[in-house]
Amino acid sequence: MESVNIKKLAQLLGLSIATVSKALRDSYDISKETKEKVVTLARELNYQPNPHASSLRRHASKTIAVIIPEIANNYFTLVIDGIESVVQEKGYHVMIYLTHEDVNREIAFARTLHNGRVDGALISVSGTSNEFTHFRELQAKGLPMVFFDRVVEDFDTIKVTTDDFESAYLATKHLIERGCQRIAHLGISKNLSIGKKRLNGYMKALADHNMAADDTLIAACTNDNTKDFEIISNLFTEHKVDGIFASNQPTAIGMLRKLEQFKAQGTTVNASFVGFDSHEVLLAGVREGKVAALVVQDPKQMGYLGVKTMLRHLAGEKIEANVATAAATVTKENIDQPQIRIVTLQD
């Protein structure tokens, strides 16, 4: 007879792997009815848990894996600072896995975690990921996972995010209120949920102000500075934009540098620019009047909440499926007092 694993049980029952795993462990956050269905089928099919995996789970390694796409973007460097501010005092260690936006590296890292040497994984997916079997396999092994910032929306696990839709809405609204009529959106990978949400926020703000969306003003940037500069130049020369929302740190910094290049060349640019992030270069741009506003978030808070949530999950506590951090709009007038709501999880 073919051996039966948790993934097979989940398919037969029409449940998620995480739900079946929790039901077999008699987790308190699974209903009695669901537990009975899972246990009954497991007995009928002679399901046998993996003793090696169970043993590894019982013997905590006190190590948390952190999978991130890059560190050139200092957002993730600050996220790690937030993570380490918690794990050290709790006696845990952090193991960093850097994918460099390469899904193949991400898959390879996920597979190395099958050995049970970490207690859980904090994950921010790469921009080239569009299929997540490697993470579903990890979940089937029973490894606790928390996605942060770049998350997998249909994945049944805890997620820590910023309100990306609302943030993009506010950024676009700010440009509209400054009188901009042709507002471009500089986006990121369409594979990422944050990119989709920020684009949707931009579109909704236009619609709410009776402004038609123009596909020619929606540009997807790359990590290639030369190509991105060409994309930005084209928005000004061919499409005559008077407002730009750059929806993440690399595109915002690239936009600022292109504006500085225009100025050095003696080219006049009559456009307002709103960026997404609180990098010191962008904050300086706000102070100098080069950037109309920034939507800022606190990456250290993201890391803090992510690992705090993970540790409480490992301790057996029931955690909400989604934990949201806050963002704020920063202008020259309030730059020294950005109103970011600090969210904490009590010990």
Q: What share of the chain has pLDDT > 90, as a percent? A: 31
Residues 153 and 79 placed together within one structural domain of the fold = yes
Q: What is the pLDDT of residue 97?
A: 95
| Tens digit of each residue's pLDDT (9 = 90 or more) over 191-200 | 788 888 999 9
Strands (E), the chain: 63-68, 93-98, 120-123, 145-148, 158-162, 183-187, 218-220, 243-246, 272-276, 293-297, 322-325, 327-330
Q: What is the pLDDT of residue 335?
A: 63
Neighbours of 33 (CB within 10 A): 8
φ and ψ of 254, to 5 deg: -60, -40
Is 142 inside any structural domain?
yes
Q: What is the pLDDT of residue 46?
A: 80
Is 347 inside any structural domain?
no
Inform me whether the pLDDT recorded for 346 exceeds 90: no
Inform me whether the pLDDT recorded for 177 exceeds 80: yes
- Rounded to whole angstroms, the Cα distance separating 11 from 273 reads 49
Q: What is the mean pLDDT of the chain?
A: 84
User: What's the token pair of residue 291?
Assistant: 């950037």
User: What's the token pair of residue 236?
Assistant: 């000004």
User: What's the token pair of residue 21?
Assistant: 């795993």
Q: What is the pLDDT of residue 174?
A: 92
Which CATH number does the domain housing residue 293 bear? 3.40.50.2300
Contact (Cβ atoms closer than 8 angstroms) between residue 61 and residue 284: no
Q: What is the DSSP string of 187-254?
A: E--TTSHHHHHHHHHHHHHHHHTT----GGGEEE--S-HHHHHHHHHHHHHTT--SEEEE-SHHHHHH
Contact (Cβ atoms closer than 8 angstroms) between residue 294 and residue 286: yes
Q: What is the pLDDT of residue 8?
A: 85
Cα four-point dihedral sign 232, 234, 236, 237: positive
Is 172 inside any structural domain?
yes
**Run of H or E residues at 82:** helix 74-87
Contact (Cβ atoms closer than 8 angstroms) between residue 331 and residue 293: yes
Q: How many domains does the chain have?
A: 3
Inform me whether the pLDDT recorded for 341 exceeds 60: no
Domain that holds residue 288: 164-297
Contact (Cβ atoms closer than 8 angstroms) between residue 174 and residue 201: no
Residues 91 and 190 placed together within one structural domain of the fold = no
Q: Which is more confidently placed, 320 or 231?
A: 231
Q: What is the pLDDT of residue 162?
A: 85
| Tens digit of each residue's pLDDT (9 = 90 or more) over 240-287 | 899 999 988 888 888 888 888 888 888 888 889 998 887 888 888 888
Residues 12 and 95 placed together within one structural domain of the fold = no
| Tens digit of each residue's pLDDT (9 = 90 or more) over 322-340 | 776 767 777 767 766 544 4
Nearest to 172 by CA among 274, 258, 58, 32: 274
| Tens digit of each residue's pLDDT (9 = 90 or more) over 142-170 | 899 999 999 988 888 889 888 889 889 99
Is 335 inside any structural domain?
no
Residues 224 and 277 placed together within one structural domain of the fold = yes
Inform me whether the pLDDT recorded for 38 exceeds 70: yes
Provide CB contacts within 8 A for 320, sequence distance 6+: 158
- Rounded to whole angstroms, the Cα distance separating 166 from 267 reads 34
pLDDT band at 59 (very low <50, low <70, confident <90, very high): low
